[in-house]
Structure 1
């Protein structure tokens, strides 16, 4: 049963607790959209200094907007375009300290200054990406990337 958030001060411990909370929250539910919706809400509660968190889901050769928290967003992103499309095409996580310096960045929200994107693959098949934006430059660290990749590993068990 989901117990709510009570995080430690150490970032590695926080991410471990976040993954445990996600697992508890999603256990027993098999609907992918319900689970992605709760995952985005959990991340929105977990993070400070962000302005958007959510999922883009693979549809043919593009990503389509999925469950999210934040302002309305771009609906379709072709593979290889912007940060999300680049992460999807390469199937590799990306931290962008300054989105304005990223070639081909797609500005869905002009307030976004930095971004982290984690591909979501199951059994070698890309399902989509987790995307988090911040209105601050250099918001995301290598430790965030590791923690979010673990979060996605837990998420994959429930979608």
Structure 2
């Protein structure tokens, strides 16, 4: 393949990657085609911004939360503000093999955590660690989809916890403004 054609493919890939978050480079060598996909940082940059809860007519409790995600040199930072507190720290943004995106707000201690409460009658026999000594988790995980961050705020009868007690919603949806 001519050197000019190789540079043309690379130039096209750069242009496409600036428009999309992916670009494919096709290089022909010895009658074989090799396709390489280039991922750019732009797919992660889209998470930066200000997210807020919206009013919910079905929920009588107030739930005003704002979350600002900013891009830093080594990743992302967050600033979370509720009616009762203002917290800031590192935000970790990842995605799994299926493309689902996740955000963890590091350093935020959950408000309540009772752990697995499905076998409370047997706890005194099988559980060597009393409930009072359970370590409260730190770090709030959330899913990210199309400019919406969703936090599962509390658990169920099998796994009792509350992450942000000043909001009574089971799922806190923060929408980019």
Q: Into which bin does the TM-score normalised by the smaller protein fall?
A: 0.3 to 0.5
Q: With structure 1 as the length reference, what TM-score do the two structures score?
A: 0.32
- The structure with the largest alpha-carbon Rg is 2
**Higher relative helix content:** 1
